[in-house]
Amino acid sequence: MAKEIKFSLLYRDMWQSSGKYVPTVEQLTEVAPAIIEMGCFARVETNGGGFEQINLLFGENPNKAVRDWTQPFNDAGIQTHMLERGLNGIRMSPVPSDVRRLMFRVKKKQGTDIARSFDGLNDPRNLKDSIVFAKEAGMISQAALSLTVSPVHTVKYYTELADTLIGMGADEICIKDMAGVGRPATIGRIIKKIKEKHADTPVTYHGHAGPGFQMASILEAAHAGAEYIDVAMEPLSWGTGHADLLAVQAMLKDAGFKVPDINMKAYMKVRSLTQKFMDDFLGYYIDSKNRVMNSLLIGPGLPGGMMGSLMADLENNLASLNRWKAKNGQPELTQDDLLVKLFDEVTHVWPMVGYPPLVTPYSQYVKNLALMNVLQLEKGKERWSMIADNIWDMILGKSGKLPGEPAPEIVAMAKEQGREFYTGNPQELYPDKLDAFRDEMKQHNWELGQDEEELFELAMHPEQYRAYKSGEAKKAFEADLAKRKAEANAPAATAATAAAPAAAASDAFMPKQLVVNVDNEEFVVNISYPGSNNGGSQPATKEAAPAAPVEAAPATGAVQEVLSPLEGKFFLTKESSESPLKVGDTVKEGDLIGYIESMKTYNAVTAEVSGRVAEICFDNGASVDEDDILVKLQ
């Protein structure tokens, strides 16, 4: 009898691997009946990852979105699954244990059947609670192996990791080939070894199309014993996304597997509705580069889903770097020059920081570290002159155990800076906080929500939730969308920096009009969004002029200027426990001045001299360029 292969539709991830946003709840509930009518999906990925942060940025209630979107599939007997990041829950930073436990309870009540849990470092300690909490809540616990290619990430490494996670109680295993760089034969060997020992444990293969291996990987996974294959569909398959349902079904059928038939009338309706959502507004946030496959990704192993933000980072930093080169009489670089230098630097630094799997958030960390190094080296400075605090946390073990060992050079640098390595359980560094968030809800007279789901949203996404409740998020989104539409519809002469209109729907099913980001700015809301396209953010408008200074005092002596080391957003603090700098404060050499938030990391800015703060030149959250004066000291 032919082996049966079941399909799971990635209707969340196929959007977030292409652009910034997913459809609104009205759009999702419009397309759900047609997805069901297709008759070929055993599972649909409905939420998780950056899904709920996106709802909040819309000004949309994420709990209503999850409940309304999962309900039709629950009614039809199609299982729903979410993606969660272990210690980081459904955000980019660690989450207290009590908030993580509440998440699984809330998501199950809202209609999510399966929790796909991964840890960016493959540290089983970070997944143990996810497995326990998911099963406690009545969910199926699917533990994911974050796949990458390095000397330490061997078949033995992954099969032993699967043994450990199944021993902890995981009901299923997912091979999460998040960059699509897993070699097909190796993927087959990993799954075969798992199935030899755990024949009754279902295995899902999840991959990305970008580097070009995915169809071969799917075939190897199926032959090795995988029961479920994740797929996407036009117009959002291929590129930085996932293999297309039609191609996968035809390939597996030809290989002798039993695969479900597809109702093509319903398929065309889902395809048409997806295109309609893109034409409505979602296409304005999809970079055309994300619709193209790119085998250059094989070398650095960066996830295809972050290519959009990566290209935006390159555009932004290239402009800044070339301004510096012009001022210093050096020849400018092209984007291709910088891209090749970046990929080479990723290959260089990745082993030195212990081979973290290149998945959210560690793919961003390694890429950011490499890009900072490239920029510094181009200016004649040394590597490692800028390492953000959250990157240090990864290196020091505060997020989990690295698969490899940091290079002696990095260890020595940590000691020189008085940084200590941590070997304990990472969760212990992040104490319970639900009671504090309950108090905040009470102070604002906010309802805890059905099954305490509103409390959960505040606790998981505090800044975004506050912006949602104030209405600032919705206003910022509407203003940004209006600007993008105006630019796309403007005459070519006045929209030189905007992307050319995309081809009509009949031409590769691209959005009808598209704006490519070039400034790497975020919304003018003081929130930092971590998503994915597997976390990528798209910039909003840069302010026309520097923001008014927060505070200033008359200068009465020699003034020393603290300059911004890079382009980004200036923040006086990054944690509520920190006290912001004020005019009149006395600082010593090496004291913290503030932070530049760039590429989803906070880079500390310190004083190079001692003095009294005479002026703070930018508002908290204001956009700054490299070498802008942040603070004046006397």
What pLDDT, in 10s, does the model give residues 416-436? 999 999 999 999 999 999 999
Residues of the chain with pLDDT under 50: 492-550, 552-553, 555
* The pair of three-digit structure tokens given for residue 613, joined into one six-digit string: 């703060």
Query: What per-residue confidence (pLDDT) applies to 198?
Result: 98
Residue 68, amino acid: D
Sequence-ordered list of residues with C-beta below 8 angstroms from that of 77, at least 6 positions apart, any chain? none
pLDDT of residue 72: 98
DSSP annotation of 19 reads: B
Residue 606 lies in a domain: yes
Instruction: From 571, 551, 570, select the one nearest 632 (Cα to Cα).
Output: 551
Q: Is 566 part of any domain?
A: yes
Query: Can you read off the two tokens belonging to residue 77?
Result: 């007997």
Compute the distance between CA of residue 512 and CA of residue 280 in angstroms, rounded to an integer.
Answer: 9
Q: CA 278 to CA 275: how far, in whole Å?
A: 5
The tokens 């050079």 sit on which residue?
Answer: 409
Q: What is the CATH number of the domain that holds 583?
A: 2.40.50.100
pLDDT of residue 80: 98
Q: Is residue 578 part of a domain?
A: yes
Check residue 572 and give its pLDDT. Answer: 87
* Residue with token string 């973290």: 356
Residues 228 and 78: beta-carbon distance below 8 Å: no
- The phi and psi torsions of 529 (rounded to 5 degrees) equal -90, 125
Asked if residue 318 lies in contact with residue 335, where contact means CB atoms within 8 angstroms, the answer is: yes
What's residue 238's pLDDT? 94
| Structural contact between residues 358 and 301, judged by C-beta atoms closer than 8 angstroms | yes
Q: What is the pLDDT of residue 626?
A: 75
The neighbour count for residue 298, using CB atoms within 10 Å, is 18
Task: Yes or no: say if 249 and 216 are a contact pair by the CB < 8 Å rule.
Answer: no
Residue 492 lies in a domain: no
| Virtual torsion, Cα 192, 197, 202, 203, nearest 10 deg | -30
Structure-token pair, residue 28: 């999702």
Q: Tokens for 74?
A: 């629950």
The total domain count for the chain is 1
- What is the structure's pLDDT at 304? 58
How does DSSP classify residue 4? B
Q: Is 528 helix (H, G, I), strand (E, B) or coil?
A: coil
Other C-beta atoms closer than 10 Å to the C-beta of 492 total: 9
User: Is residue 67, in this structure, part of any structural domain at all?
Assistant: no
* pTM score: 0.80
- CA 420, CA 358: separation in Å to the nearest integer? 24
Residue 580 located in a structural domain: yes
Provide the residue range defining the domain that includes 615: 551-633
The tokens for 590 are 């090496």
Q: Is residue 489 part of a domain?
A: no
Kindly state whether residue 178 falls inside one of the protein's structural domains. no
Among candidates 286, 326, 389, which has minimal Cα distance to 627? Answer: 326
